[in-house]
Amino acid sequence: MTAKGAGGSRAGKSSGRGQRDLKVRVKTAKGRKLSSKLWLERQLNDPYVARARREGYRGRAAYKILELDDKYRFLVPGARVVDLGCAPGGWCQVAVQRVNALGEKSGKPIGRVLGVDLQEVDPIAGAEIHVLDFLSDGADDKVKDWLGGAADVVMSDMAAASSGHKGTDHLRIVALVEAAAALAFDILEPGGTFVAKVLAGGAENEMQAMLKRNFQKVANVKPPASRSDSSEKFVVATGFRGRGGDDPADQSG
């Protein structure tokens, strides 16, 4: 999926320029940091940001899960989905549409979407949102109780708070993904899918090995909606083997 950028238009004959520069530039106001100016400028010129506004999504991240699902087809009608760290809710919005949580696709199974986050999230039609620390004791039982059973998909677009140090941030997000995967092992149906954001950095080998022991296929993908200057990528693990794949008893001998 690609997004078209703003095209140029012909300038007046007296300008001597073939095309006008339509890129929005933000003046640095007094007291505004350069980093804030650059972030705002990038947001104003990002075609995915503009598209999200037009199409009613809560953020450009919605297109990342859309593009991943276009390729791997895990958000199917009738699927039960858990979105970890779901704020602001864009991934839940996509899941509601694709799993038919509102029953709008006649003749198709009706799915369920459950979002959890540390903070309150504005309601989303077709999704059930709870405030929960998924790292807390008993979180897996709570999720399964709310969902009414096991999940078909566990997905996470979470990122640990930035420290400003690339290596530290990489280790933090790897640890977060490992924790999310551990929850997924407890709540996924056999054959289920786990999707999570990671940062490229070389420390994720053990995590990748863990996922490969527990899933039939593990892919690492950078969807088009992921900014080219970002080190983020997404792991898509499909075909959950069921509990026991990472049990120490299974690795003896």
Name the residues annotated as catalytic. 197
Instruction: Answer whether 122's CB lies under 8 Å from 90's CB.
Output: no
CB 91, CB 234: distance < 8 Å = no
Is 89 annotated to bind a ligand? Reply is yes
Helix (H) / strand (E) containing 233:
strand 232-240
In angstroms, the CA 10 to CA 13 distance is 9
Dist CA 10 CA 67 (whole Å): 34
Q: Is 133 one of the annotated binding-site residues?
A: yes
Cis peptide before 223 (omega within 30 of 0): no
* Strand extents, DSSP E, 99-228: 112-117, 127-131, 151-156, 188-199, 215-221
Strand order in the sheet with 80-84: 127-131, 112-117, 80-84, 151-156, 188-199, 232-240, 215-221
What φ, ψ does residue 202 adopt, rounded to 5°?
95, -5
- Chain-centre distance of CA 5, in angstroms? 23
169 is in an annotated binding site: no
Asked whether the beta carbons of 92 and 75 are under 8 A apart, the reply is no
Q: How far apart are CA 36 and CA 3, in angstroms?
A: 25
> Annotated binding site: which residue ranges?
89, 91, 117, 133, 157
> Annotated binding site for S-adenosyl-L-methionine: which residue ranges?
89, 91, 117, 133, 157
